[in-house]
């Protein structure tokens, strides 16, 4: 049985991707396409003097920088992708343990020898490690086209923006940073993942209302009974956007090995255990 486990888990991950390919692949691909078309439109509309100015500005900005130093700048265009990733993942998590109960395919899933823990873990691993891979792949193509376009623009305006190879390397480093950032952010947000999965497993309908409603109610009750706002403050301390992006390895290490991170993971694990427990029976 043990030798079967990895293959089984891979099948569970594959199921998540196949079922949610619109959220995980089509959505970022469309975003990349929209951004590229938008950029082309801007370039075609702008007067050539302005474009020359822009290319010149980039060449000055990149001048003398190593790929690793250039990489954080390449993260800028990834911000809309990060926002889309979060939006899609929230939708995914709210439906993850709800949709199959709604369309009754849960009876098929539960008729297979797959544990509830395995099912729930596959959803978490999908969010933490698998979805960002698709984003990285799409961003890779996106960056490749951007780097080629920048080089072509440089050539046509006779400005050396930065070496093509240099920019390409910078893009690759920035994608590594993107992956590490999303991975760490997902760990940082494990309580949120657990909370959404808990209500996805619990709600008979509209899990989003439950997830939000219970949270607001808890905050309200805390304020009413204890006169404190611990819950609200704790959430506030975790929604600073800077916490979600790492720009180099030491920063990643600091973020990973911190008490705050550990505390969040423990809270997340408790909520996830609740989701596994909720998943036990269908009625």
Partner 1 sequence: MTDIVEARNLEKKFGDFKALDGLDFSVTRGSICGLIGPNGAGKTTTLKALVGLSDVEGDLRVAGRDPRVSRHKLMEEVCFIADVGILPKWFKVNQVLDYVEAVHPRFSRERAEQILSTTDIPANKRIKELSKGMVTQLHLALVMAIDVQLLVLDEPTLGLDIIYRKEFYDRLLNDYYDGDCTIIISTHQVEEIETLLSDLLFIDNGKIVLDAAMQDLENIYSEVLIDAGHYAEAEQLGPIYHRDILGKRAYIFEGVDRNRLRELGEAATPTVADLFVAKLRGAKRE
- Which positions from 12 through 51 interact with partner 1, judged by CB under 8 A? 12, 14-15, 18-19
Please state, in angstroms and rounded to a whole number, the distance separating the CA atoms of residues 112 and 122: 15
Q: Which is nearer to partner 1, 50 or 102 (CB)?
A: 102
Q: Which is nearer to partner 1, 12 or 55 (CB)?
A: 12
| Residue 100 found at the interface with partner 1 (CB under 8 A) | yes
| Residue 115 found at the interface with partner 1 (CB under 8 A) | yes
User: For residue 24, which of 144, 120, 138, 175 has the smallest C-alpha distance?
Assistant: 138
| Residue 205 found at the interface with partner 1 (CB under 8 A) | no
**What mask, x for binding partner 1 by CB under 8 A, covers residues 253 to 282?**
---------------------------xxx
| Sequence-ordered list of residues with C-beta below 8 angstroms from that of 125, at least 6 positions apart, any chain | 9, 13
| Sequence-ordered list of residues with C-beta below 8 angstroms from that of 39, at least 6 positions apart, any chain | 146, 149
Contact of 210 with 217, CB cutoff 8 Å: no
| Sequence-ordered list of residues with C-beta below 8 angstroms from that of 144, at least 6 positions apart, any chain | 168, 171
| Residue 4 found at the interface with partner 1 (CB under 8 A) | yes
| Residue 11 found at the interface with partner 1 (CB under 8 A) | yes
**Run of H or E residues at 158:** none
Please state, in angstroms and rounded to a whole number, the distance separating the CA atoms of residues 96 and 110: 14
What are 272's two structure tokens? 């996830």
Contact of 131 with 88, CB cutoff 8 Å: yes
- Which positions from 73 through 92 interact with partner 1, judged by CB under 8 A? none
Closest distance of CB 247 from partner 1, Å: 39
- Select from 106-114, 138-146, 149-157, 187-195 the region that touches partner 1 (CB under 8 A): 106-114
Q: Which is nearer to partner 1, 105 or 156 (CB)?
A: 105
Select the residue interacting with partner 1 from 103, 158, 227, 259 (CB under 8 A): 103
* Chain centre to alpha carbon of residue 155: 35
Select the residue interacting with partner 1 from 45, 49, 104, 225 (CB under 8 A): 104
Q: Which residues bind partner 1 (CB under 8 A)?
A: 1, 4, 7-8, 10-12, 14-15, 18-19, 100, 103-105, 107-116, 118, 280-283
């Amino acid at each position: 049985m043990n030798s079967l486990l990895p293959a089984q888990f891979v099948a569970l991950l594959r199921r998540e991707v196949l079922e949610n390919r619109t959220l995980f692949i089509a959505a970022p691909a469309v975003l990349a396409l929209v951004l590229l078309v938008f950029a082309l439109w801007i370039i075609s509309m702008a007067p050539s003097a302005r474009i020359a100015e822009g290319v010149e500005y980039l060449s000055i900005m990149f001048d003398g920088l190593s790929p690793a130093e250039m990489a954080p700048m390449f993260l800028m265009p990834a911000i809309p992708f990060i926002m889309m990733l979060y939006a899609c993942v929230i939708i995914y998590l709210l439906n993850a343990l709800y949709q199959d109960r709604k369309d009754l395919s849960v009876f098929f899933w539960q008729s297979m020898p797959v544990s509830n823990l395995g099912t729930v873990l596959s959803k978490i691993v999908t969010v933490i490690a698998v979805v960002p891979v698709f984003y990285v792949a799409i961003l890779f193509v996106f960056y490749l086209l951007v780097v080629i376009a920048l080089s072509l623009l440089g050539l046509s305006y006779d400005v050396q923006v930065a070496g093509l190879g240099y920019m390409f390397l910078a893009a690759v480093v920035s994608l590594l940073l993107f992956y590490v950032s999303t991975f760490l952010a997902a760990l940082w947000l494990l309580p949120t993942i657990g909370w959404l999965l808990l209500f996805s497993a619990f709600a008979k309908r509209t899990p989003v209302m439950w997830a939000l409603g219970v949270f607001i109610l808890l905050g309200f009750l805390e304020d009413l009974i204890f006169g404190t706002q611990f819950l609200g403050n704790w959430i506030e301390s975790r929604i600073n956007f800077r916490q979600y992006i790492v720009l180099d390895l030491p920063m990643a290490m600091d973020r990973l090995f911190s008490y705050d991170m550990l505390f969040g993971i423990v809270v997340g694990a408790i909520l996830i255990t609740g989701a596994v427990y909720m998943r036990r029976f269908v009625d």
